[in-house]
Structure 1
């Protein structure tokens, strides 16, 4: 019976346009072979001209229609004469088979007697009477109407979804665009393919279990949750979790994006929401997954420029009603994903709609190792590849970033004609993703190269001398992406950050400009990205984390995201001046601190810069040779030999 549901791939589908074209070609062919009247319109003839032709014997035959009009066919000899040249050929420059002339009759009896005399005198071969025109003339007169009707039928079938129509046609515009996955659909993703995210997987698996075995929970008086919201940064695996649910659940799974509700027509979004929940209710128990729900779920009343009838708000209102209103749908669970939970409407986030918020955060070092194992499985790699080392080299990477690292490593290995992907390929892939593509052919003068080397050596020196600065991995002056040089660090994965740790990081960031000042007694524009980073850190210390004594234990951070809609600042002008002053003091103090460290180690700074100019890339070992071992016994995770 399963074979009955398979589509017949050999079935030929007839296009309406093919039928219309065939009809037109048939008509043209018939018209051409039956005299070509459609190709050459007969010339209207006056009575004296007709009498002259008849008297000369140049008419071969005459056909009289309805005793009103006569079609005149000339002889071959007459067509060769100059007077009949205009009717001798048709528009295709082929011999015109006639009729060549047409004559409006007066008295039919007189005309008939004239023809009888001409036949008797052998000036005319024959003539006959017909009561109606031939079929080609009838079709010609009806052809415009036939074409208009045919085009109208074709357009209406397209609009109504027939003859190749789909959900996007005009009469289906209010239908849901959700893609349905069920037990018959080949979804290969399962929870085994989702590495890490143990807490999120546990809650998601429980939702699947709700639908598979609801009695286990309802026997105790509990109710199945209405919805779960997956919240987290981009690339952390929210959509992948939903794919795993589609693969594991033995119930229909409707998947669509928040933007699928949005359309230029008023009322379409709300109509699609109604249709989506109607379909899900008919197939319940079922799961609905809405990716990027912030496209329709933003807080209402914030965008006042859109006018009185906001289509997005109407869509959201309908979604709120369907999730928890008078006509609540039973056994339909809504999953949604977003990385902007702060902008969602409060009514959407309340219990009874999205009962659970599942935070899908960036993976830690243990979870990154598990993710690497998943993405390394299909690669041809060297034996005993250290996945723990790879996990340590990728702090702050999301699951999508790790997948990209593995893919880039395979491409780099193939580019170098290797038979297997090795450790160096992964390090090069990380460099490629973080810093960009190497630009070894970029023209840099020796003076600029010296300045870049001093700048990067300054970063390396200051970070080596500070306890809480991130451990250095390598430094390069080979241009990458938009930067002329780069230093790679391996930051410690902290859950909380203290003031002295942030100050050390700021000091290390200012080490590049400080090295230029100490060595050349002048500075350059090369520290733009450093200044941007350190200004952002200093502003966060003062205005967000409350780490400034002058401002005190006050934060101006709004976790709800509502402040972005406001044009006013949450502090006075006097406080704004104080904030700007404290930010400047923080940055300048760390700049002076970096200068002091570099002045005390100026010889080692220049020695490091000279090695950098010579080799273009230096590693942690080179710094240990110059500076000696670091005097701090902190966690130096990520040391490389």
Structure 2
């Protein structure tokens, strides 16, 4: 217990754990209707004090079946009439998070992108203020590793709203109707949790220009279902859809037109690369005696992710293996020399 206020929690994410004893007659419950489960959960757990990691036991339909509190907002408190429940499943492709560990200040650089993205933050804080002028569909584009996902999560954190994410490749089902069902399931969940962010990663995998779709297979049912949701046939008040792509030039024009705002993310400049290095080395497990300006200078064309994964992490791992206690400039330069220098823009490619 942390001694914080015992006020009502707004959101609770539960993970099914199972029964304490295994028996052949036990039926494993599956939550098909989140709204019905929400009412059922409040009826039996109202007044329960919860926090991350606590277990809740079913006492009605499936006695002794355990659920674990994966996350809640705020971090602890009482279950009340206003609490919204969500049950996660291992087989579910839709991820729901209550982001707490990243803010816009953690996104180094991208000042213009963050400035434009603040309209999303204002909308999520007060959806009714915007009415029909709401920024409901926003497209983040730019090279990989430039902070698109991080910025979207930061917006969810600062607005104190759930973050629903899915890789667009997961929306393409094996059977007819699977894709459309997953799209509608995603937005049905979003409507329950509104206000919230729906984040569609790798968006070009389903939103390719029609000239490329024959090469990727038929995704028309996914696209049609998505267009229905983006057009707001259902009431999507308080829902902001953010799609992220590395190849905006390959998106289908009809889909791209549904996004009211396009926000570009660029590769970091010299000063930004140095800030990324400084930020990520601030809590490094070994000592660093290196010229970060020089390292930043020779990493032109690297994204933030490149700097962290290909330079910093690679140098640390090699230092641990070699038993070094201090990393110098040459250690980082060696890591840089072992990877291909990224191009400033992703190469054009055909999909097969």
Q: TM-score normalized by structure 2?
A: 0.70
Higher relative contact order, structure no. (Cα contacts within 8 Å, ≥ 6 residues apart): 2
Preserved CA contact (<8 Å) 2:127 2:238: no
- 2:20 is aligned, of 10, 13, 17, to 13
Q: SS of the residue aligned with 2:338?
A: helix
- 1:355 is aligned, of 260, 282, 290, to 260
Preserved CA contact (<8 Å) 1:320 1:347: no
- The change in CA–CA distance for 1:16 and 1:231 in structure 2 (over 3 A counts) is same
Equivalences, count: 289
Preserved CA contact (<8 Å) 1:258 1:290: yes
Preserved CA contact (<8 Å) 1:299 1:346: yes
In the alignment, the residues of structure 2 paired with residue 398 and residue 408 of structure 1 have an alpha-carbon distance, to the nearest angstrom, of 15
- The change in CA–CA distance for 1:166 and 1:382 in structure 2 (over 3 A counts) is closer
What does residue 413 of structure 1 align with?
319
Q: CA deviation at 1:9?
A: 11
Q: CA deviation at 1:8?
A: 12
Preserved CA contact (<8 Å) 1:298 1:344: yes
- The change in CA–CA distance for 1:274 and 1:429 in structure 2 (over 3 A counts) is same
What does residue 94 of structure 2 align with?
178
Q: How does 1:164-313 map to 2 (within 5 A)?
A: 167=89, 177-182=93-98, 187-214=100-127, 218=130, 223-300=133-210, 302-304=212-214, 310=218, 312-313=219-220
- The change in CA–CA distance for 1:416 and 1:302 in structure 2 (over 3 A counts) is closer
Match status 1:323 vs 2:330:
no
Q: CA deviation at 1:407?
A: 1.4
Q: How does 1:494-505 map to 2 (within 5 A)?
A: none
Higher Rg of the two aligned structures:
1
Preserved CA contact (<8 Å) 1:230 1:359: yes
Q: CA deviation at 1:210?
A: 1.9
Deviations 1:512-569 (CA, angstroms, capped at 9, x unpaired): xxxxxxxxxxxxxxxxxxxxxxxx9xxxxxxxxxxxxxxxxxxxxxx9x9xx69xxxx
Preserved CA contact (<8 Å) 1:300 1:313: no
- 2:292 is aligned, of 363, 372, 387, to 387
Greater strand share, structure number: 2
Greater helix share, structure number: 1
> What do you get for the CA RMSD once the two structures are aligned?
3.9
- The change in CA–CA distance for 1:3 and 1:209 in structure 2 (over 3 A counts) is closer
Match status 1:337 vs 2:247:
no
- Consecutive aligned runs of 4 or more in structure 1 exceeding 4 Å deviation: 1-12, 156-169, 304-307
User: Gapped runs of 5+ residues in structure 2?
Assistant: 1-5, 34-61, 67-86
Preserved CA contact (<8 Å) 1:410 1:425: no
Q: SS of the residue aligned with 2:233?
A: coil
What does residue 425 of structure 1 align with?
331
Q: CA deviation at 1:188?
A: 0.7
In the alignment, the residues of structure 2 paired with residue 239 and residue 6 of structure 1 have an alpha-carbon distance, to the nearest angstrom, of 21
Preserved CA contact (<8 Å) 2:287 2:326: yes
Preserved CA contact (<8 Å) 1:291 1:336: yes
Preserved CA contact (<8 Å) 2:145 2:306: yes
Q: SS of the residue aligned with 2:166?
A: strand
User: Gapped runs of 5+ residues in structure 1?
Assistant: 20-152, 170-175, 436-490, 494-535, 537-558, 566-641
Q: SS of the residue aligned with 1:358?
A: strand
